Structure 1
Amino acid sequence: MDDPVRAFLEANHGAIMTTLKKDGSPHVARVVIGLVEGKLWSSGTRKRVRTAHVRRDPRATLCVLSEDNPWAWLGLETTVTILEGPEAVDQNLALYRALAGEPEGLDEYRRAMTAEERLVYEFTIHKAYGMH
């Protein structure tokens, strides 16, 4: 990841994630993304449609939108690794902290992450382009 891409991702957290349905057609979802120790992550759940798509075909494209400039955007062609299991609670907490700081009620946050069956999508970037 080069410096301009990293800078754009550090400043902008709203994105559209496109995955592929079984028939090959696109499925889009609004997501929040963040850099955690240099890795690009987003939170999801075990039952999300995009999770099923990524389990079948790990390719995904992100269109990251600028929070300040309506004309600035970053396209990322990626493959996704799903991070799940007991570590997913702490991984979601790390993502939350990277985006918003410390959550109020840490124990409650951890219980919610477990109850919601939260996981993390980790994006490996293969190509970056756009007007950023």
Structure 2
Amino acid sequence: MPLELSASAEAFLAENHLCTLTTLRADGSPHVAPVRFTWDRGAGLARVMTTASRRKVLNLLADPHGRAALCQASGPRWITLEGAAAVSDDPSRVREGARRYARRYASPPPYLPGLVVIEIAVDRVMGLY
């Protein structure tokens, strides 16, 4: 069952602000990268488009039970979406991620070889929004 977020959380997620994705390296240290993302309220999924060779992807592939944290901030307001993360190169999942990205950012994601989608099944939300 997808997580129910407050109207203020949903409104903040719809805004376009600086966002970071945190994954863990094999040694347990955090890897933080700036990203763009989309939020799928119905599925409870945050999606990040990237390429298979990126460190964030390699970190997640190294741990099949890996989790990720996506944080959006604007001044004193912030929200973190956390959950189990999976990487997919399935064409239908990548297309859906790209479609949502294009709708949110008014342009498609950069087409790069090895395009994949990171899907975070959000089960924890923290923030001040």
Aligned match for 2:79, one of 64, 74, 77? 74
Structure 1 gaps, min length 5: 104-108
Higher helix proportion (structure 1 or 2): 1
Contact 1:18-1:61 at 8 Å conserved across structures: yes
TM-score by length of 2: 0.79
Whether 1:18 aligns to 2:47 is no
**CA distance change for structure 1 residues 73 and 44 in 2, over 3 Å: closer, same or farther?**
same
What root-mean-square deviation, in Å, do the aligned CA atoms of Structure 1 and Structure 2 show? 2.2
1:78-110 superposed Cα distances (whole Å, 9 cap, x missing partner): 21122213325522431232212355xxxxx8x
Max Rg structure = 1
Whether 1:118 aligns to 2:115 is yes
Whether 1:62 aligns to 2:70 is yes
State how many pairs are aligned: 121
Deviation at 1:36, TM superposition (A): 4.2
Whether 1:5 aligns to 2:2 is no
Whether 1:42 aligns to 2:45 is no
Structure 2: distance between partners of 1:59 and 1:21: 11
1:25-69 superposed Cα distances (whole Å, 9 cap, x missing partner): 111100111124643211111100100101123211122113xxx
Structure 2: which amino acid aligns with 1:117? G
Deviation at 1:131, TM superposition (A): 1.1
Identical positions, percent: 29
Structure 2: which amino acid aligns with 1:61? A
3-state SS, counterpart of residue 36 of structure 2: strand
